[in-house]
Amino acid sequence: MMETERLELAQLSYDDCEFVRDLVNEPSFIRYIGDRGVRSLDDAYEYLRKGPLDSYEKHGYGLYRVCHRCDTTPLGICGLVKRDEFPHPDLGFAFLERHWGRGYAYESSLATLDHARNKLALKHIIAVADGDNEASIKLLRKLGFQFEDMVRMSGESKEICRYALDLPE
């Protein structure tokens, strides 16, 4: 799907159930993104079916599995999410904690934004982040996102930060 110097981003599949179950149960994922209630491989299957796989069909994009180009072991996910609450797609990323601090989120986010601009012809991307998630906010700023406002996602009690980025033509 997409390649960078070190990484490959590809569509998730049902073969990724174990990886997805592990990723969404990392303490940082639960703290900053939320508890998705994925405890079993069957739960992961449903998460994939209703989330990324459905998004590929509906929107032509979604979250992608991020791996080293020379290895198929998943490091994390990165891609675009279309939420009903927002008119524009948003950049999302999450990596297994053991792979943090190596620039994978930045590198895969750049590839995703390039894909959004050049292949999907998108002009505006948003991103949301918990205000306590300093690492994600730092990354969004490094990518050129600007703080827009505080928003409350449907069903959530806490407001989160919304950032925006206009993609150059």
Strand partners, 77: 65, 94
**What is the CATH architecture of 2-166?**
3-Layer(aba) Sandwich (3.40)
pLDDT tens digits for range 16-47:
999 999 999 999 999 999 899 999 999 999 99
CA distance readout (Å), 98 to 17, 22, 39, 102: 19, 12, 20, 10
pLDDT value, residue 16: 97
Task: Please report the beta strands in 55-159, taking only residues with DSSP state E, as ranges in sequence order.
Answer: 63-68, 74-81, 90-95, 124-129, 146-151
Q: Where are the domains of the chain?
A: 2-166
pLDDT tens digits for range 65-83:
999 999 889 999 999 999 9
Q: Structure pTM? A: 0.95
| Region at 121 (left for phi over 0; alpha for psi -120 to 50; beta for the rest) | left
pLDDT value, residue 157: 81
* Span of 37-46, 98-107, 131-140, 146-155 with lowest mean pLDDT: 146-155
pLDDT value, residue 72: 86
Q: Could you give the percent of the chain with pLDDT greater than 90?
A: 91
CA distance readout (Å), 89 to 30, 74, 133, 162: 22, 24, 20, 12
